Amino acid sequence: MPTLYAEIDINAPQSVVWDALIRKEQWRFWNTFLYDCNPSLQIARGNEIFLSMQRLEGDEETEFQPIITMLRPPYLMRWVSTIPGLRSEHLFELQETVPGRTHYIHREVFSGILSKVFLPFIRRDERQGLRRMAQQLKMHVEGTMLSDRPQSHPDDRHPDDRRPDYDGRSYDSRDSRRDYPRDHDPRDYDPRDYDRRDYDYRPRRPR
C-alpha cells in the first residue's frame, strides 16, 4: 500500500513528546500541518475528531474527521479517515531510544481503489507536511515545553517521578498535564483496553 513517512530524533523524554502530540488544542501554537477544528472532541480510542490539514504553508486547508482506532500512551496513536474509494491511516509512534531522547515516527498509509489515482497529486506536498510537522514538534518540545518547566533538584522529587535531566533542566512527570484546560482529561482512555487482543478498534461501516 502507498505510504508516506517522516521521522526525527527529539531530545526529550518520551512522556513529554507524547504530551505535546495529544494536546491537539495546542497544535495551533506550533503545528502548521494539522489543525484542531473542534477542541471539545477529545483524543480517546473510538472517538471521532475534527481536523484540517494544510499540506503547504499558506495553501488551502482540507477538513477531515478521522476516528481514533488505537491509543497506547505514551508511545502509539493511530487514526483512520475514509471517503468513498479512499482510506487514509495516520500512525504516530514514539520510541525512547535512550533516557531523555525520543525517536518520532509518523506514517500515512493509503488504501482503496482511488488511492493510485489520488495519491500522485498530493504525494509530494503531503510528504512535506509530515516532515514539517516533525521538525516543528521537535522545536516546540525542545525549545518551549522543556524550557518552560520549573527547575528543581532531582533529590526533591519522589523516586518514581524522576526523569533524566535534559540540558541541565529537570523534567517532573507530575507537571506533564498541568496546562490542560479544565474540561480536558487526557486519562479519558482506559489502560485496561491496551492489553486486549482486540484493542484495534474498527469503525462501523455506514449502511
Measure Cα distances from 78 to 22, 60, 67, 117, 199 in Å: 11, 24, 9, 24, 12
Amino acid at 140: H
Amino acid 148: pLDDT: 73
Enumerate the domain spans of the chain.
3-171
Express each pLDDT in 27-58 by its tens digit. Answer: 999 999 999 999 999 999 999 999 999 999 99
Domain 3-171's class? alpha beta
Q: Which residues of the chain have pLDDT under 50?
A: 152-207
Amino acid 2: pLDDT: 86
Amino acid 149: pLDDT: 67
Amino acid 206: pLDDT: 44
Edge-to-edge order in the sheet of strand 76-83: 3-10, 101-111, 86-98, 76-83, 67-72
